């Protein structure tokens, strides 16, 4: 029997097999495990940005409605167990170790019999399905890892498929043009299964519409604030908001929801909230009784750490997992909207396979001081190379640039440079944000 630490060593040791998109390994592995994913009531969520937030909202609403709800997300921020939750509780160390041992035996069997060699994400997905089956969840909110069509989660037939905004990320796997990336995301759409999409670029929306038409799937679109709504659309109106959250009105094909509240920052979260509400509404057509009160309470209570999260005040400390162009633009918009009057010290760490130069061009201009550091990942761009890129792009800028390889040192430097009325922003990678979040709670 594996210990918890041995289980994590086994899981993370699979990293050496890299990323292999495809459903052969996961299908065989789940078959050997008795197909624990079969007959689960699943909401499947793909997209580039907003997946995690939307999943958290759906989970919170269903939990508020009295259901037992599983939530499968990736990556984790602080502890691995976050990836598998039931009604807000992480999987226990003992359960994780026990289920990893079961899956490990099947992985060894597959290798010995030339049946395939599952990757880390495939193994984690299999562990998740086993756990949620054991827990007898009423619903499972299932976040796609990467892409959709060939993602290990795509062995399911959900009750509802959700597509959050699609933008550029993981181009080496998903394609270099938005239309190709959208096709990969749309791979989760199954014949006849209702689809909800957040606001999309025209190219991406065309692919979603075409896919839904081919597969005869009812499609609901979330329309940005102020746009005309039609019979198959969800529209919202921002009412008020600030650093503590937002108040908004929502109209769906089923109902009106005046005076909804959400405690998350950023106008983009209204798109995600609208998407989540419609996904939950569609579940009611399968027989689930979800009262309006659960939607109000679920959105009000939802928490999604590491996304425009204010960790402390005096100085204001904000962490955000923005790790691609769209995410960085969202962060920039929020900083300009909520914190335009504050001097900002930006602590940034980015992975090497990201479009980091474009990310820097977007984000650096809002900062007064930049501290470059190295995320906790083998794919990390070193602080030295990142600071060099900043200096090259902003040669004539007044912005001061520092570099600290260790996140702990970068954090200490940031606080030493910051007055009580200033602001520290940590961004660029979820791998860095998780480390910072732990540090900040210990300081």
Could you tell me the domains of the chain? Answer: 4-301 (3.40.1190.10), 309-442 (3.90.190.20)
Alpha carbon of 364 to those of 184, 337, 394, 397, 410: distances in Å? Answer: 31, 16, 9, 10, 16
Structure tokens at 81: 């167990």
Q: Which helix (H) or strand (E) holds 390?
A: helix 383-393
Share of the chain above pLDDT 70, in %: 95
pLDDT attached to residue 221: 96
d(CA 326, CA 312): 25
Average pLDDT value for the chain: 92
More confident of the two residues 288 and 105: 105
Alpha carbon of 324 to those of 53, 130, 321, 403: distances in Å? Answer: 16, 32, 9, 21
**Phi–psi pair at 270, nearest 5 degrees:** -70, -35
> Following CA atoms 190, 192, 194, 199 in sequence, which dihedral angle do they give, to the nearest 10 degrees?
60
Share of the chain above pLDDT 90, in %: 76
> Which residue in 345, 361, 362, 354 sits closest to 404, CA to CA?
345
* Sign of the CA dihedral running 323, 326, 329, 331: negative
d(CA 92, CA 105): 20
- Report strand pairing: 369-372 vs 139-143: unpaired
Give the pLDDT band of residue 324 (cuts 50, 70, 90).
confident
- Average pLDDT estimate for 4-29: 87
- Average pLDDT estimate for 121-142: 98
Whether the per-residue pLDDT at 355 is higher than 90: the answer is: no
Whether the per-residue pLDDT at 172 is higher than 80: the answer is: no
pLDDT digits (tens, 9 = 90+) for 292-322: 999 999 999 999 999 899 999 999 999 998 8
């Amino acid at each position: 029997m594996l210990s918890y630490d041995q289980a994590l060593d086994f899981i993370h040791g699979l990293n050496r097999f890299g990323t292999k998109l495809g459903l052969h390994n996961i299908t065989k592995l789940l078959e050997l495990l008795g197909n624990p994913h079969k007959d689960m009531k699943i909401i499947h969520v793909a997209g580039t940005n907003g997946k995690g937030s939307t999943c958290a909202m759906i989970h919170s609403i269903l939990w508020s409605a009295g259901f037992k709800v599983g939530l499968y997300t990736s990556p984790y921020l602080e502890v691995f167990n976050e990836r598998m939750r039931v009604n807000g509780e992480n999987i226990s160390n003992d359960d994780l170790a026990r289920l990893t041992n079961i899956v490990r035996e099947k992985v060894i069997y597959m290798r010995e019999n030339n049946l395939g060699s599952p990757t880390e994400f495939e193994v984690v997905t299999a562990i998740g399905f086993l756990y949620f089956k054991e827990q007898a969840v009423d619903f499972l909110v299932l976040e796609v890892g990467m892409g959709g069509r060939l993602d290990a989660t795509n062995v399911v037939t959900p009750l509802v498929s959700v597509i959050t905004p699609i933008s550029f990320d993981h181009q080496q796997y998903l394609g270099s043009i938005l239309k190709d990336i959208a096709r990969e995301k749309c791979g989760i759409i199954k014949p006849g299964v209702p689809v909800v999409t957040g606001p999309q670029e025209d190219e991406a929306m065309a692919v979603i519409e075409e896919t839904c038409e081919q597969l005869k799937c009812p499609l609901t679109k979330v329309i940005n604030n102020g746009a005309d709504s039609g019979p198959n659309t969800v529209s919202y109106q921002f009412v008020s908001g600030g650093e503590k959250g937002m108040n908004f009105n929502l109209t769906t094909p089923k109902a009106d929801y005046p005076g909804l509240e959400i405690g998350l920052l950023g106008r983009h979260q209204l798109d995600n909230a609208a998407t989540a509400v419609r996904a939950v509404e569609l579940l009611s057509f399968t027989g689930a009784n979800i009262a309006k009160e659960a939607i109000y309470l679920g959105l009000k209570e939802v928490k999604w750490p590491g996304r425009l999260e204010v960790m402390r005040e005096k100085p204001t400390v904000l962490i955000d997992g923005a790790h691609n162009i769209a995410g960085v633009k969202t962060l920039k918009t929020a900083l300009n909207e909520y914190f335009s009057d504050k001097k900002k010290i930006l602590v940034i760490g980015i992975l090497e396979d990201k479009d980091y130069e474009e990310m820097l061009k977007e984000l650096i201009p809002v900062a007064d001081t930049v501290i470059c550091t190295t995320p906790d990942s083998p794919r990390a761009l070193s602080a030295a190379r990142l600071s060099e890129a900043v200096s090259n792009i902003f040669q004539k800028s007044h912005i001061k640039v520092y570099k600290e390889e260790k996140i702990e040192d970068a954090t200490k430097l940031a606080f030493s440079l910051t007055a009580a009325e200033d602001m520290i922003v940590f961004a660029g990678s979820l791998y860095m944000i998780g480390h910072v979040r732990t540090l900040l709670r210990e300081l």
